[in-house]
């Protein structure tokens, strides 16, 4: 494997682990009232890693074969905890593919966020097993096939939540120079 691929694999593995760790902390309640903002940062950072994978040439496995692995860990507990924390904003609507399928599709942030994590964990398992080329192949393939779409949809929903929380505010009253209350 070339030094270029090794460097990229190391970089993506750090982004992947940071995302999984951050998501787990948020699911555990560490985000408090900043849940949307922290999730937005996590998704944006891992999306940068995905964009780098997408901008690179295709990673091709020798024999076009992924070595077998045991079953990936179950992260449904993280998904459930996120769904509880997100509550009424977990469900949202999204256009799945603006070029092929322009119908609105129901999504859940908790599902999207953990789908991304599941694909990243699968690649991390290859990476930790000493197979960085397989990890890169998996991350790139699954970025185009699944987690890139889920991350993009989640980022749009999280950005909308952050924007609504700041922009949809009640009118504020202030005092003018004469001491009269005015609405801003």
- Match 């609105």 to its residue by tokens: 104
Domains of the chain: 3-183 (1.20.120.1550)
Helix (H) or strand (E) holding 4: helix 3-27
Backbone angles phi, psi at 96, to 5 degrees: -65, -50
CB neighbour class for 162 (10 Å; exposed up to 12, middle 13-18, buried from 19): middle
pLDDT tier, 177 (very low <50, low <70, confident <90, very high otherwise): low
Predicted TM-score (pTM) of the model is 0.85
Q: What is the distance between the alpha carbons of residues 78 and 130, in angstroms, rounded to a whole number?
A: 27
Residues 32-74 have pLDDT tens digits of: 888 888 999 999 999 999 999 988 888 877 777 677 788 888 9
SS3 category, 64: helix
Residues 90 and 83: beta-carbon distance below 8 Å: yes
Q: Which percentage of the chain shows pLDDT scores above 90?
A: 62
């Amino acid at each position: 494997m070339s030094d270029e691929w090794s460097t990229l694999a190391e970089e993506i593995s750090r982004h992947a682990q940071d995302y999984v760790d951050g998501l787990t902390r948020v699911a555990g309640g560490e985000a408090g009232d900043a849940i949307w903002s922290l999730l937005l940062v996590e998704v944006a950072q891992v999306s940068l890693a995905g964009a780098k994978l997408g901008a690179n040439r295709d990673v091709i496995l020798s024999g076009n074969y992924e070595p077998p692995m045991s079953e990936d860990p179950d992260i449904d507990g993280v998904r459930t905890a996120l769904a509880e924390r997100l509550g009424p904003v977990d469900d949202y609507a999204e256009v799945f593919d603006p070029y092929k399928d322009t119908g609105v599709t129901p999504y859940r942030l908790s599902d999207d966020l953990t789908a991304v994590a599941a694909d990243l964990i699968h690649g991390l398992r290859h990476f930790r097993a000493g197979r960085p080329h397989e990890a890169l192949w998996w991350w790139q393939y699954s970025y185009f096939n699944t987690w890139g779409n889920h991350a993009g949809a989640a980022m749009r929903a999280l950005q909308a939540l952050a924007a609504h929380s700041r922009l949809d505010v009640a009118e504020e009253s202030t005092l003018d120079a004469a001491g009269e209350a005015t609405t801003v």
